[in-house]
Amino acid sequence: MARILDARGATRVRVSPDERWVCYVTDVTGTPQLWRVPAAGGMPERLTFDCDRVGAYRFSPDGSRIAYGADRGGNERWQLWVMDAGGTNARRLSEREDRIHHLRAWTVDGRSLLVHANLRDERFFDLVSYDAATGAARLLHRHDGTASDATPLPDGAVVLTLNRRRGDEHDLVLVTPDGATRRLTPDDPPARHVVVGAGSDHVMVRTDRGRELSGLAVVRLDGALEWVRSPDHDVEDAGASRTTRAYAVNVDGWSEMRVEGDGRESPLAGLPPGALAQDLIGDSLSVVGDTVAVAWARYDAPATVYVARRGETARVLVPPGLSGLAPSALPRTRLVSWPTFDGRTIPGFLLTPRGAAHGPRPTVIDVHGGPESQARPSWNPRSVALVAAGFNVLWPNVRGSTGYGKTYQALDDVEKRLDSVRDLDAAAAWLADAGIAPADRIGVMGQSYGGYMTLAAVAFFPERGWAAAVDVYGIASFLSFFERTDAWRRPLRAAEYGDPVKDRDLLVSLSPITRLDAIRAPLMVIHGANDPRVPIGETEQIVAALRAKGRDVEYLRYEDEGHGLAKTKNRADAYPKVVAFFERHLMR
């Protein structure tokens, strides 16, 4: 267990403007901090020391400085910092610790930062320019809503990516240097637009406009759209320079990287089977000049940074730290699927111990968050520890998951919420019917929305006989969730879950807190006290209510965490307890 928890990887890659350096984030020191390493290979250097953890970061256009965001205790109140590219002279620019500052980009002249900040109203994110020398703030665009990005153009204009009804539907808006605005995208059809590159008269976007799956397209400043690549799978990330373009397609949860330049396209050679290493911040792919850097995930190793020049084979730049773990101790994984209640087939990944005897073994179903997310073949120390302890682990991609098209993603919206829980119940039935797990030794766990799924499974489908459940900062009551989650998130979540006023009765009926008498499975609950997304009140109320009924509930609360366990010391406390909890109840 100690070795599994000590294994380290690297994510959030960015290539410096001169292509000499690659920056990345790793928690090798115990918290996520920013590092850099020569692109040609060499000794890594730590860059950040003054913050709890690093969020988004950006190189200045000349590469001499780095701007970054940092929060405290996982509260996601990101503050703005600027330092020299070598990590010296770090200074904070923002002043409002009670507000969120989403770093988007440097201005083209390198004098200011483009930031979406909710200074005016905690519900709304305006575009604000922060002077990189003085910290002086200037309002550039007022927006009564949330926003996803801001892309500077060479003439000083900015293309804004503004969220519409949901976080995966966007408007692109051009803000000219004189402050005038012009929409670049139509009202219909609503679509995702994620900017991955820009020129003087266009932006390149990842979009699903008029399509079931995302492709690559150019949107010109007159609003015209021209498709560049429209493969038969989701384009999940992309990057572009003047000479090189790289993008990844999502094939049943695995990623396939493609690189093109000089009119030729080819797979990026040298990558093992895996997927882009993505987290809450992103930045898994960077393209500058002819250099491509990628943070690459595997189920049997922490995330690894690869780098390649266009036309070359990718090589390891930042290797994973495996802490002496033997390959025989790491899980095998395979893509599986099972039938569900309406005749659909649900995909997932099954992790099993290497060299284990065939036959049923206790199994934990681990549900991803989101729900707009997807279980991928990536390193998960909690799952690795469970497999090392003798369990199977199933990662399901129930309806509502991304990567399979817009129709599949919308199958759990609002009144269809419990259909995704039925897919989870069907997974447990399949595990038993296929002889993978004994029917009475199946557990369930999940974090964030996966925590809701865990509570819903044991509350709405108790007849499954779940042997144990671990809820990691999940939603217990949709009504109290909407009352307490950060104000800016409420409209986006209402589009997915239902409106807390109009759909009040429905949300009550879908809340596990209303089904306490049905919950029989032993329960462990884990939560960070500073969580702004799923406030800790969700956990406090279900723990108190179940304990009042004499139920078996273990509760782990971490005072210096938010929406997740970002600190090594807290994972080292929680994960062994999770494994021990499942051992007590599934390996009896």
Q: Please give the model's pTM, rounded to 2 decimal places.
A: 0.94
Helix (H, G, I), strand (E, B) or coil at 26: strand
Judge whether residue 588 has pLDDT over 80: no
Q: Residue 362 in contact with residue 390, Cβ under 8 Å?
A: yes
Q: Tens digits of per-residue pLDDT, 428-466?
A: 999 999 999 999 999 999 999 999 999 999 999 999 999
Q: 448-485 b/e with 16+ CB inside 10 Å = b? A: bbbbbbbbbbbbbbeebebbbbbbbbbbbbbebbbeeb
CB-based burial label for 272 (10 Å; 0-12, 13-18, 19+): exposed
| Residue 552 vs residue 421, higher pLDDT | 421
Calculate what percentage of the chain has a pLDDT beyond 70.
100
| Sequence spans of domains, the chain | 327-586
Query: Is omega for the bond preceding 327 within 30 degrees of 0, making it cis?
Result: no
CA distances, 401 to each of 148, 168, 387, 404, 416 (Å): 20, 13, 24, 7, 14
CA atoms within 13 A on the CB side of 201: 3
d(CA 24, CA 15): 9
Q: Report the pLDDT averaged over residues 44-64.
A: 95
Q: Which two tokens stand for residue 544?
A: 């108190």
Q: How far apart are CA 423 and CA 54, in angstroms?
A: 36
Give me the chain's average pLDDT, please.
94
Q: Which of 173-182, 327-336, 378-387, 420-429 has the lowest mean pLDDT?
A: 327-336
Read off the pLDDT of residues 31-49 as tens digits, 9 standing for 90 and up. 999 999 999 999 999 999 9
Judge contact between 359 and 436, C-beta under 8 A. Answer: no
pLDDT of residue 33: 97
Dump pLDDT digits (tens) for 109-154.
999 999 999 999 999 999 999 999 999 999 999 999 999 999 999 9
What would the two tokens of residue 146 be?
């949330």
pLDDT attached to residue 278: 81
SS3 assignment, position 532 = coil
Question: Residue 263: what are its φ and ψ, rounded to 5°?
Answer: 80, 5
Residue pair 515/483 in contact by the 8 Å Cβ criterion: no
How far apart are the C-alpha atoms of 79 and 101, rounded to whole Å?
6
Read off the pLDDT of residues 361-375 as tens digits, 9 standing for 90 and up: 999 999 999 888 999
Q: So what's the pLDDT on residue 329? A: 80
Which residue matches tokens 């003054």?
50
Residue 282 pLDDT greater than 80, yes or no: no
CA distances 165 to 82, 155, 161, 491, 496, Å, are 33, 31, 13, 7, 10
pLDDT at res. 355: 82
327-586 CATH choice from 3.40.50.1820, 2.60.120.310, 3.40.50.1000, 3.40.50.720: 3.40.50.1820
In this prediction, residue 50 carries a pLDDT of 82
Query: Which tokens hold the place of 105?
Result: 């980009």
Q: Which residues pair with 293 in a beta bridge?
A: 286, 307
Which two tokens mark 45? 């250097």
On the question of pLDDT at 280 being above 80, the answer is no
